[in-house]
């Protein structure tokens, strides 16, 4: 019997519903249960693929090619369960599906309404097959209770709560307990109002997870329980912590997993073995050293734009027992060729993450040139790899006009759209599609690594599978010219047409990859490229 846990949020956004959901999922796993986590997003976009990182943060890509909310990255990192297209849905997807059915006549002339058509579609998503061995499906509802756009989702889960019954459904509500310094008091009123709003639409929370910056007095817990109609033991303290990987152990200590299981009458489950999480926490808080990594990107004012990259760098630090300090550097400031690069002088490694568009691109190329000339470990990802190849083509191979067709045609299209690559320096030919969300190579693709290359040594295998999200590719027609100048394309698509990995042979550690390895990195299984990159940064830090 599959049981469902619905996670909602109140008072303010950004309280950490995604982390809370992921941590609870991990705790249930450690008690021997199979889990799947899903995200319901109320926005009208079909998916976040065309949304600005400043609006939405990073786009997380699954193996099967879905562009999803970044919370799915938390789910994967905490539980190790690979997310799928069926684990994230938006209002836009629901309405598109319903309207397509209506146009086909599937509703036989019925009037299409939010209830029951939209709510039924949401329920179908929640109840869709989670796969084998799943005991709990955790569904996080995006946004905050009271948001107009989220009302159909709340109504859908209210109906599910009635249809499934308390033996198969539990509601967990995440709220905020602010501390008013001038009064010297922790205030419960925002939580009371949030629960009142939730109850007004027919949902009685079973567990309250209360974010706070200090311990909650027992008197306040009893007050919250009384006014919010929950048991005192179900008021769970979610205090601010030093690191997100401290959350599972802290939430277990406060009794979150115990209370959820008790609601279902599952009181005989063995306690979770938190050894792995405690080991991760010990490494985080007691490192043997520190390295500084310069992340050169165009969205550095919004750290969530690079959430998975930042997490993967931390994982590389865990593998090497060092703390990774990430210095966020705006690449746009280096577009001015006269602007000095002194901010890069103190870093032990440079990472060039993905992105789109010409703004900030020249700054990334200058950072790649800096790393190449100074022997600073450098890691180019997706767009960062493409720009590193263009920089090498200009500086090493003498192709002064080398560029990407994303910026226009210069006559030397080293990077371009992939439809009709030919040998020689001919232009890329491709018919543009109106749907910008449908023109990319998305999801997991295989690559073959060259024997004896640095990449092959790092991976320890000849064939890999990694997740992609990009429209443009490095033009294989330029491989010969570049490899004659110290560049090695050490990873290729199985058909040999698409470069996937490149290296500089006379550099201690300079690797670019067309894919996004950060999406497959986990705290318990750091991605080998990030582990190796941080190791190279450690070595560099001792040399300078």
pLDDT at 430 over 70: no
Q: What angle do CA 206, 209, 213 make, to 5 degrees?
A: 160
Q: 423-438 burial, b for 16+ CB within 10 Å, e for fewer?
A: eeeeebeeeeeeeeee
pLDDT at 528: 98
Within this chain, do residues 176 and 243 fall inside the same structural domain, yes or no? yes
The mean of the pLDDT values for the chain is 92
pLDDT at 439: 67
* Rounded mean pLDDT, 448-472: 96
Within this chain, do residues 454 and 381 fall inside the same structural domain, yes or no? yes
Q: Return the CATH number at 99.
A: 3.40.50.300
pLDDT at 406: 87
Within this chain, do residues 365 and 300 fall inside the same structural domain, yes or no? yes
Does residue 139 or residue 431 have the better pLDDT? 139
Closest CA to 94 of 156, 33, 15, 32: 156
Which residue has tokens 């959430």? 307
pLDDT at 339: 77
Q: Can you give the three-state secondary structure of 224-292, one letter per residue?
A: HHHHHCCCHHHEEEEECCCCHHHHHHHHHHHCHHHHHHHHCCCCCCCCCCCHHHHHHHHHHHCCCEEEE
Within this chain, do residues 64 and 144 fall inside the same structural domain, yes or no? yes
- d(C-alpha 77, C-alpha 451), whole Å: 30
- Tell me, yes or no, whether 285 lies in a domain: no
Within this chain, do residues 164 and 76 fall inside the same structural domain, yes or no? yes
- Tell me, yes or no, whether 244 lies in a domain: yes
| CA-based max dimension of the chain | 76
Of 280, 312, 339, the position where a domain reaches its end is 280
Of 280, 305, 320, the position where a domain reaches its end is 280
Of 256, 280, 304, the position where a domain reaches its end is 280
User: Where in the sequence is the domain holding 33, given as residue range(s)?
Assistant: 3-280
Within this chain, do residues 338 and 434 fall inside the same structural domain, yes or no? yes
Over the stretch 184-222, which tens digit does the pLDDT of each residue have? 899 999 999 999 999 999 999 999 999 999 999 999 999
- Tell me, yes or no, whether 253 lies in a domain: yes
216 upstream amide cis, omega within 30 of 0: no
Which residue is catalytic, options 67, 220, 332, 518? 518
Q: What angle do CA 51, 359, 422 make, to 5 degrees?
A: 90
Instruction: Provide the pLDDT confidence category of residue 422 given band limits of 50, 70 and 90.
Output: very low
pLDDT at 322 over 90: yes
> Against a cut of 0.85, is the pTM above it?
yes
Residue 410 backbone dihedrals phi, psi, to 5 degrees: -110, -5
pLDDT at 337: 77
Within this chain, do residues 275 and 300 fall inside the same structural domain, yes or no? no
- d(C-alpha 280, C-alpha 212), whole Å: 23
pLDDT at 347 over 90: yes
518 is catalytic: yes
Own/partner contacts of 192-195, CB < 8 Å, gap of 24 or more, are: 192/224, 192/227, 192/228, 193/11, 194/10, 194/11, 194/145, 194/146, 195/10, 195/227, 195/228, 195/229
pLDDT at 296: 95
Q: Structural domain tally of the chain? A: 2
In contact, 406 and 395? CB cutoff 8 Å: no
315 is catalytic: no
Within this chain, do residues 360 and 469 fall inside the same structural domain, yes or no? yes
Which residue is catalytic, options 33, 382, 468, 527? 382
Which residue is catalytic, options 56, 173, 252, 516? 516
* Antiparallel, parallel or unpaired: β 472-474 and 487-492: unpaired
What's 114's DSSP letter? I
- d(C-alpha 383, C-alpha 404), whole Å: 10
Which residue has tokens 């950004």? 14
* Dihedral angle of Cα 272, 273, 274, 276, to the nearest 10 degrees: -140
Does residue 355 or residue 158 have the better pLDDT? 158
- d(C-alpha 453, C-alpha 528), whole Å: 14
Within this chain, do residues 413 and 311 fall inside the same structural domain, yes or no? yes
Within this chain, do residues 255 and 381 fall inside the same structural domain, yes or no? no
Within this chain, do residues 402 and 523 fall inside the same structural domain, yes or no? yes
Within this chain, do residues 131 and 266 fall inside the same structural domain, yes or no? yes
Over the stretch 91-124, which tens digit does the pLDDT of each residue have? 999 999 999 999 999 999 899 999 999 999 999 9
Closest CA to 238 of 207, 274, 277, 212: 212
pLDDT at 543 over 80: no
- Tell me, yes or no, whether 152 lies in a domain: yes
pLDDT at 419: 57
Over the stretch 220-267, which tens digit does the pLDDT of each residue have? 999 999 999 999 999 999 999 999 999 999 999 999 999 999 999 998
* Rounded mean pLDDT, 425-431: 35
Tokens in use for 368?
């790649």
Q: Return the CATH number at 328.
A: 3.40.50.880
- Tell me, yes or no, whether 121 lies in a domain: yes
In contact, 75 and 26? CB cutoff 8 Å: no
Over the stretch 490-538, which tens digit does the pLDDT of each residue have? 999 999 999 999 999 999 999 999 999 999 999 999 999 999 999 999 9
% pLDDT > 70, the chain: 96
């Amino acid at each position: 019997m599959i049981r469902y846990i619905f996670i909602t949020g109140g008072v303010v956004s950004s309280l950490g519903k995604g982390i809370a959901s992921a941590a609870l999922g991990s705790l249930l796993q450690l008690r021997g249960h199979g889990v799947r986590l899903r995200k319901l997003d109320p926005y009208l976009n079909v998916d976040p693929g065309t949304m600005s990182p400043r609006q939405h943060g990073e786009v997380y890509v699954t193996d099967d090619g879905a562009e999803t909310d970044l919370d799915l990255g938390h789910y994967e990192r905490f539980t190790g369960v690979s997310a799928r297209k069926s684990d994230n849905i938006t209002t836009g997807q629901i309405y598109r599906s319903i309207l397509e059915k209506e146009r086909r006549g599937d509703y036989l002339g019925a009037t299409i309404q939010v209830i029951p058509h939209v709510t039924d579609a949401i329920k179908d998503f929640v109840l869709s097959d989670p796969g084998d061995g799943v005991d709990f499906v955790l569904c996080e509802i995006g946004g905050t209770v009271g948001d107009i756009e989220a009302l159909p989702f709340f109504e859908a889960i209210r109906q599910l709560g009635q249809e499934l019954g308390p033996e198969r459904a539990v509601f967990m509500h995440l709220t905020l307990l602010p501390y008013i310094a001038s009064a010297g008091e922790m205030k419960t009123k925002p939580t009371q109002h949030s629960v009142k709003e939730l109850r007004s639409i027919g949902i009685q929370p079973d567990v309250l997870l209360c974010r706070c910056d200090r311990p909650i007095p027992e008197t306040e817990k009893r007050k919250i329980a009384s006014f919010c109609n929950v048991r005192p033991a179900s008021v769970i303290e979610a205090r601010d912590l030093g690191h997100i990987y401290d959350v599972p152990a802290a939430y277990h200590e406060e009794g979150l997993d115990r209370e959820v299981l008790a609601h279902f009458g599952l009181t005989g489950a063995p306690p979770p073995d938190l050894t792995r999480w405690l080991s991760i926490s010990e490494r985080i808080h007691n490192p043997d050293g520190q390295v500084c990594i310069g992340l050169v990107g165009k969205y550095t004012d919004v750290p969530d734009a690079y959430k998975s990259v930042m997490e993967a760098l931390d994982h590389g630090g865990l593998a090497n027992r060092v703390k990774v300090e990430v210095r966020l550097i705006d690449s746009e400031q280096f577009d001015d060729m006269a602007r000095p690069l002194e901010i890069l002088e103190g870093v032990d490694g440079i990472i060039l993450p993905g992105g789109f568009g010409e703004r900030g691109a020249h700054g990334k190329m200058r950072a790649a040139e800096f790393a190449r000339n100074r022997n600073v470990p450098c890691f180019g990802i997706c767009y960062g790899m493409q720009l590193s190849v263009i920089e090498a083509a200009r500086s090493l191979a003498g192709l002064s006009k080398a560029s990407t067709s994303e910026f226009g045609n210069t006559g030397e299209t080293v990077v371009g759209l992939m439809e009709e690559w030919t040998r020689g320096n001919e232009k890329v030919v491709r018919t543009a599609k109106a749907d910008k969300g449908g023109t990319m190579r998305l999801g997991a693709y295989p690559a073959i690594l060259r024997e004896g290359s640095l990449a092959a040594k790092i991976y320890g295998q000849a064939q890999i599978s990694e997740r992609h999200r990009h429209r443009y590719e490095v033009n294989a027609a330029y491989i010969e010219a570049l490899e004659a100048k110290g560049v090695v394309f050490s990873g290729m698509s199985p058909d040999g047409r698409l470069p996937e990995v490149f290296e500089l042979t006379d550099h201690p550690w300079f690797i670019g990859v067309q894919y996004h390895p950060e999406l497959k990195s986990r705290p318990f299984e750091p991605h080998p490229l990030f582990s190796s990159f941080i190791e190279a940064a450690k070595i560099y830090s001792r040399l300078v």
